[in-house]
Structure 1
């Protein structure tokens, strides 16, 4: 969750540098999706039924990967910024994946 929060701290000012039309279209979609991921991670932290929240966070991370790639291909993000975003999303994705695996292991029935 902390890694995604740091990503958001970087992301918000970065999106403000998008051209005006894209700031309100693509930039808003990216920001909303990133905030939804943060909310899902927070919800997963404070509930025992984590699976749905983690699946939603994982899906949001995948959406962000494509949205950031689109922003890069449209030349709204330079290579350095795109690389930072990709690495940050990869780190968060790996953490969510590990959390899902741990949660699954705890939920599976234990042999007697």
Structure 2
């Protein structure tokens, strides 16, 4: 089951956190950056489900990694333009780092 995959749950939790986070972005500037964050996160969820259903998951895992890097950049932009406090940035960065560690472990296991 996909719900039992820890990385899926962490990415899903990140989406919920991101959804609440972008609701606080300034309205005039909200659409582009919040849309990029939410779409990238949703793509990670989609790719995780696909990867979990395949015997050879490496291609999807690499795409998840690329999307995680993009998400990291978008969060940094949000911090740099003042949409995120340093504290919230730290919380999101820790969630991203945890997902990165889980993804690296999953990729190592998939190579075997």
Alignment partner of 1:40 is 2:63: no
Query: Match of 1:55?
Result: 62
Q: Is the 8 A contact 2:50 2:60 kept in 1?
A: yes
Cα distance in 1 for residues equivalent to 2:67 and 2:54: 19
- CA distances 1:15-37 after superposition (whole Å, capped 9, x unpaired): 01111232211110111001101
Pairing 1:1-112 to 2, within 5 Å after superposition: 1-104=8-111, 106=112
Q: CA-to-partner distance for each residue in 1:70-102, whole Å, 9 max, x for gaps? A: 100000011111111100010011111111111
Q: How many residues align?
A: 105
Alpha-carbon distance between aligned partners in 1 of 2:28 and 2:65, rounded to the nearest angstrom: 28
Gaps of 5+ in 2: 1-7
Superposed CA RMSD in Å reads: 0.9
User: Normalization by structure 2: what TM-score?
Assistant: 0.90
Partner Cα distance (2:27, 2:53) in 1: 37
Tell which structure's C-alpha radius of gyration is larger.
Answer: 1
**Unpaired runs of 5+ in structure 1?**
107-112
With structure 1 as the length reference, what TM-score do the two structures score? Answer: 0.90
